[in-house]
Amino acid sequence: MAAAAGIVLALVLKFLLGWTGWLTSFFTAALLFNVVLTGWSFSVEGKRRAKDRLASTLIYSCFVAAMVPLVLIIGYIIVQGAPALSMDFLTHSMNGVSASQEGGGIYAALLGTLEQVGLAALVALPVGIFTSIYLVEYGKGRFARSVTFFVDVMTGVPSIVAGLFVYTFLLLGFGMRPFGAAGSVALAILMIPVVVRSSEEMLRLVPRDLREASYALGVPKWRTILKIVLPTALSGLITSGLLAVARVAGETAPLILLVGYTSRINENPFDGPQATLPMFIWDQLGKRTGSSGEFGEARAWGAALALVLLVLLLNVVARLLARLAKPKTK
């Protein structure tokens, strides 16, 4: 029976590969594998074991289906971006380098991204953590429910809406030109709900018994939060904060409105346009014209790989800091 199923599967794959390509064939093969395996299990192992095998097979199939696009995207970025990534690419800017010239780099864009994301984190992390402390430790009644509702709404707000809000009230309201810190304000708006929700969950994981024991010793509530609750949840708070930073590091839409783009190195985020990695990619892809298009495309892929590595580094740092800050159990 298994041999017959294999022959049928091979014939179906041959037919599909000739008409629809490898991607459709892959998912069709997975579907046929589940069907054939389930039918064999019902006939040989019995109804109960067959249901268990079907559920397990579907879970593993969904896992593979979720991992395949991620692996393909990461692999393609590495293949395309690795040739452009070098020390010169990281330490030079595009100032004075035309689209038809080889060379240049992402130094100005990398510096702008780090400064703008850093400023956004300085605003969003304290606001988000203090808001989560209020919701967990003090929040009761209609006002707390309203705060939770608006935080949930802000979580789903598109990034371009946050950029348009800051553009209207900051740039147009005060007659300013685009500058780096304006992008930080929009990024902070996007970060705050993420920090609030994730930090709130971390604080709720702290056992209630720890709080009650502290109160029984006569320790005030504010001191209990400072000395008991926050140290216990510190690893989770660090992780949630750095993951929120990684979430906004690749935002592009608000930066188009608020920051602009310049090829020169601008170390002051409060004065004039500033380059960022997303805007660098957007700018270089826009210069894919004529015979010089290969240079812009190569630089864009190199910047994309650098951005992926930056987000990966933030996630690794979050894991390490969370492990170091984890309270000792012995």
pLDDT in the model for residue 116: 92
Mean pLDDT of the chain: 82
Banded pLDDT at 65 (limits 50, 70, 90): confident
Q: Compute the distance between CA of residue 149 and CA of residue 162 in angstroms, rounded to an integer.
A: 18
Per-residue pLDDT tens digits for 253-280: 888 888 888 888 888 888 888 888 888 8
Whether the per-residue pLDDT at 89 is higher than 90: the answer is no
Q: Which domains does the chain have, with CATH numbers?
A: 2-84 (no CATH), 107-325 (1.10.3720.10)
Average pLDDT over residues 49-69: 78
Range of 21-30, 89-98, 129-138 with top mean pLDDT: 129-138
Q: Compute the distance between CA of residue 174 and CA of residue 155 in angstroms, rounded to an integer.
A: 27
pLDDT in the model for residue 126: 92
- The alpha carbon dihedral of 229, 136, 194, 119 has a sign of negative
Banded pLDDT at 61 (limits 50, 70, 90): confident
Average pLDDT over residues 124-148: 89
Whether the per-residue pLDDT at 29 is higher than 70: the answer is no
pTM of the predicted model as reported, rounded to 2 decimal places: 0.80
User: Which residues, 6 or more positions from 318, have their beta carbon under 8 angstroms from its beta carbon?
Assistant: 238, 239, 241, 242, 243, 246
Q: Which of 252, 273, 249 is nearest to 158 (CA)?
A: 252
- The alpha carbon dihedral of 80, 84, 86, 90 has a sign of negative
Q: Which of 11-20, 111-120, 227-236, 302-311 has the lowest mean pLDDT?
A: 11-20
Average pLDDT over residues 193-213: 89
pLDDT in the model for residue 24: 62
pLDDT in the model for residue 134: 92
Banded pLDDT at 125 (limits 50, 70, 90): very high
Banded pLDDT at 316 (limits 50, 70, 90): confident
Strands (E), 53-186: none
pLDDT in the model for residue 129: 92
Percent of the chain with pLDDT over 70: 85
Banded pLDDT at 142 (limits 50, 70, 90): confident
Q: Compute the distance between CA of residue 290 and CA of residue 36 in angstroms, rounded to an integer.
A: 52
pLDDT in the model for residue 130: 92
Q: Is residue 83 a contact partner of residue 295, using CB atoms and an 8 Å limit? A: no
Per-residue pLDDT tens digits for 205-256: 888 888 888 888 888 888 998 888 888 888 888 888 888 888 888 888 888 8
Per-residue pLDDT tens digits for 1-26: 544 555 565 556 556 555 555 566 66
Whether the per-residue pLDDT at 76 is higher than 60: the answer is yes
pLDDT in the model for residue 195: 92
